[in-house]
Structure 1
Amino acid sequence: MTLRTLSTVLGSKRLLLATTTTTTTIATTATTLRSLRAWKPNQKPLYNWRQQITMTTAAPEKTFTAACCIIGDEILNGKTRDSNAYFLAKYLFELGIDLKRVEVIADDYSAIQETICRLSSQHDIVFTSGGIGPTHDDITYDALAKAFGLSLKLDDETCRLMEATMMKSPGWKLTEARKRMALFPYPSKILRTPVSGLWVPVVVVNENIHVLPGIPHLFERLLESLRPHFQQLVEAKHGENGRYYRVQIATRLQEGKIAPFLSALQEKVRDKHIKIGSYPKWGTDAQGIRVVVSVVGKNEEVVRDTADQIARDIEGWTYTPEQTVKL
C-alpha cells in the first residue's frame, strides 16, 4: 500500500468516525428536545429530575435558595413598575436566603405553570407575586391547581376574615367575584398573619411555593409578619449562623485601577465563600465617590477582615448603613 493510499484510507476512517459521532450527537439532542416539548407541568418526572440534581450536584457552599416569579401583564407592558422583587431581595438577604432568580411573566396559564413548576423543582422556596385578585385575569391559584393536579376549594375562614374586615366599607358585599380570592388549590398550606385587618393569607402550594398578592403594601406586610416563619426554615437547615453579612467600601479611585487587585483578592477568598462586587457610581458626588465595593459572606469575621484589606489597598472607607448609593 502506497503512502497516498494509506492516507486516503485513514482520511476516510476519520471522516466516517466524525460523521458517526455527529449523527449520534444530533440524534441525542433531538431526543432531548422532543422530551422537553412533550413535558407537561403536572408530570411526575419533573420531581425525579429535581431529586437527581440534588443528589449529584455538589455546591461549594450549601445555601437556602429562593426564586421569585412576578406575574402580571401590567408589569410587562410598562403600566406598573414592580417593587416587590426589590423588597424581596433585601428581605431574603437579611434572612440568609440566597435569591437566585427573578422572572416576570404574563397572566397566562402555560407561562405560570411552566415557570412555577421549574422554579419549584430547582429551589428550596419560591415566591409568587400577583394574579390572585377577583377579576377574570387573576388566574394564579387556578393555574397552580391545574399544574399540580389539585382541585380548588373555597376557604371559609378566609371568607369570614375578608367579610369581617371589609364590611366596614359602605356598600361592600361578599360577591362571587370576591370569593375567587378565597378559592385556593387543595390541599395546600395556609399561613395566616397575626396582623389585625390583614385577611389575605399566604397560600403554600407543593410545599415550597408561597403565593402572595401583587399589591406592594400587602406583599410587604405579609412578608414582614411572617419573618419568624422563614427564619425558622433557615435555622432548621443551617443553624443560627445562616444570615449574610455585608460591608461596603467607598473609594475615589477609578474602577479600572482597582479591578486587578479585586480580581486577585476574589480568587484568594473564594474558598471562604466570600463574594466581592464592584459597582461604579455615576454622576457628581460631594465625597467624590467613584466606586462602591461590596463584600458579602456568612462569616462575619472573614467579611470584616476582607473589607479592611480592601479599604487599605484602594484608599477607601467603610460605608455606613445610613448611606445609600444608586447602582
Structure 2
Amino acid sequence: MAIDPNRTTFTAACCIIGDEILNGKIRESNAHFLARYLFDLGINLQRVEIVADDYTAIGETVTRLSSQHDLVFTSGGIGPTHDDITYEAIARAYSLPLELDDETCRRMAEKAQPDWTLTDARKRMALFPSPAQIIRADPSLWVPIVVVHDNIHILPGIPQLFERLVKSLRPHIEETMAKKNIVSGQYHRKEIASSMPEGTIAARLSTIQDQVAAQHVKIGSYPKSVVGPNGERVVVSIVGKDQAAVQDTVQLVANAIDGWTYVKKH
C-alpha cells in the first residue's frame, strides 16, 4: 500500500531492532518516547514493530513502513559488534553500497580517550548506506542521524542518545512537512472519569464516536485496575486537532457517562 498523495495527514512509523528486546533482556522505552514526542508535534504515529537482529526481517519491515508512511524511525543495531547490522540490512534492502563516512570517524576520534584507535569494529559505526543524508543536528554527539530513501531515519537504541537525537530533528521534521504542504496542528487531549463500569458506558461511547468521526476526534476508554480515589472506574480519552470539537465531545461524553474532568495524580 503506497502513500496517498492527496491525504492531509502526516504519519510516522517506528521499527525497533534487537534480539535483546524480543527476549526480554531489555525493557523497550524508545517507542514510548517517540510516541509522546510526535503527538506533541501533531504527527500521527501509526505503527510500531519490533524485529530481531536479522537482515531479512529488518529489510522487509523498513521498506514496507517507508512505502506507507511519511517518516520512519529505526532504533538499535548500529553499534560495533557482529549483531549490529541495521546499516547493512537497510543498504541491502535498497541495493546500496556501504561507504565509510570520514567525518563521523573524525568526530568519533575527537570524543575518544587518548589511546583510542579506529578499529574495524569502530568503523562499523561509520559505514553508512550510500547515498544517504547525514544529519548532525546535535554537535555534542558524534553519532549522526542517517536518512536513507528520503524518509528512513536510522537512530541508536541507547535511550539517552535516541531521545537527544530525536529532539534535535524537529527543524528537519517541520521542513519535511512544509515540503508536503502539511500543516501539523497540535493534538489536544482531554480525559473524563466515570464511576460507571466500562460495559455500561460502551454503547454510549460508540454512539458519540460515530457522531464526531467526521471531525477527526477519537474516543478511547481505559478501565482502572482498581477503583480510583474519587470512585473512578474508567477514564475516557478524547483526542483531536480541532480544539473546539474536542471540547464539544468532552461535554457529550461527560453528560453520557456522568463524568468529570480527570486529573492524574503523580
Say if 2:41 is the partner of 1:54.
Answer: no
Q: Where do 5+ consecutive residues of structure 1 fail to align?
A: 1-48
Rate the CA distance shift 1:264–1:283 in 2: closer, same or farther, 3 A. same
5 Å-filtered alignment, 1:276-291, equals 276-291=219-234
Say if 2:196 is the partner of 1:253.
Answer: yes
Aligned equivalents of 1:254 and 1:161: distance in 2?
57
Tell me: higher relative CO, structure 1 or 2? Use CA pairs within 8 A at least 6 residues apart.
2
* 1:256 alignment partner AA: G
Correspondence for 2:146:
203
Which residue of the other structure, out of 84, 92, 96, is the alignment partner of 2:30? 84
Say if 2:137 is the partner of 1:137.
Answer: no
Specify the SS of the correspondent of 2:202.
Answer: helix
Which residue of the other structure, out of 128, 136, 157, is the alignment partner of 2:74? 128
Q: CA deviation at 1:164?
A: 0.9
The answer on whether the counterparts of 2:8 and 2:182 sit within 8 Å (CA) in structure 1 is no
Correspondence for 1:219:
162
Aligned equivalents of 1:93 and 1:181: distance in 2?
30
RMSD, matched Cα: 1.9
Correspondence for 2:50:
104
Correspondence for 2:132:
188
Q: CA deviation at 1:62?
A: 2.5
Specify the SS of the correspondent of 1:230.
Answer: helix
Correspondence for 1:75:
21
Say if 2:254 is the partner of 1:311.
Answer: yes
Correspondence for 2:122:
178
CA shift digits 1:137-190 (9 cap, x unpaired):
1011011111111111111111111111123xx643332211110111011001
Which residue of the other structure, out of 58, 83, 94, is the alignment partner of 1:148? 94
Aligned equivalents of 1:117 and 1:159: distance in 2?
28
Aligned equivalents of 1:237 and 1:151: distance in 2?
29
Aligned equivalents of 1:166 and 1:324: distance in 2?
44
More off after superposition, 61-70 vs 260-269: 61-70
Q: Where do 5+ consecutive residues of structure 2 fail to align?
A: none
The answer on whether the counterparts of 1:235 and 1:242 sit within 8 Å (CA) in structure 2 is no
Say if 2:41 is the partner of 1:95.
Answer: yes
CA shift digits 1:104-148 (9 cap, x unpaired):
111111111111111111111111111000001101101111111
Which residue of the other structure, out of 152, 155, 158, is the alignment partner of 2:104? 158
Aligned equivalents of 1:239 and 1:143: distance in 2?
31
Q: Which has the larger radius of gyration?
A: 1
* 1:250 alignment partner AA: A
Aligned equivalents of 2:134 and 2:231: distance in 1?
51
Rate the CA distance shift 1:260–1:238 in 2: closer, same or farther, 3 A. farther
The answer on whether the counterparts of 2:77 and 2:86 sit within 8 Å (CA) in structure 1 is yes
Specify the SS of the correspondent of 1:308.
Answer: helix
The answer on whether the counterparts of 2:227 and 2:233 sit within 8 Å (CA) in structure 1 is no
* 2:27 alignment partner AA: R
The answer on whether the counterparts of 2:9 and 2:182 sit within 8 Å (CA) in structure 1 is no
Say if 2:247 is the partner of 1:301.
Answer: no
Rate the CA distance shift 1:251–1:65 in 2: closer, same or farther, 3 A. same
The answer on whether the counterparts of 2:14 and 2:31 sit within 8 Å (CA) in structure 1 is yes
Give the total of aligned pairs.
Answer: 266
5 Å-filtered alignment, 1:253-272, equals 253-272=196-215
Say if 2:174 is the partner of 1:228.
Answer: no
The answer on whether the counterparts of 1:95 and 1:234 sit within 8 Å (CA) in structure 2 is no
The answer on whether the counterparts of 1:281 and 1:292 sit within 8 Å (CA) in structure 2 is yes
Q: CA deviation at 1:233?
A: 2.6
**TM-score normalised to the size of structure 1?**
0.76
* 1:218 alignment partner AA: L
Correspondence for 1:25:
none
Aligned equivalents of 2:176 and 2:205: distance in 1?
34
* 1:185 alignment partner AA: P
Q: Identity, % of aligned pairs?
A: 61
Which residue of the other structure, out of 263, 270, 274, is the alignment partner of 2:217? 274
The answer on whether the counterparts of 1:250 and 1:293 sit within 8 Å (CA) in structure 2 is yes
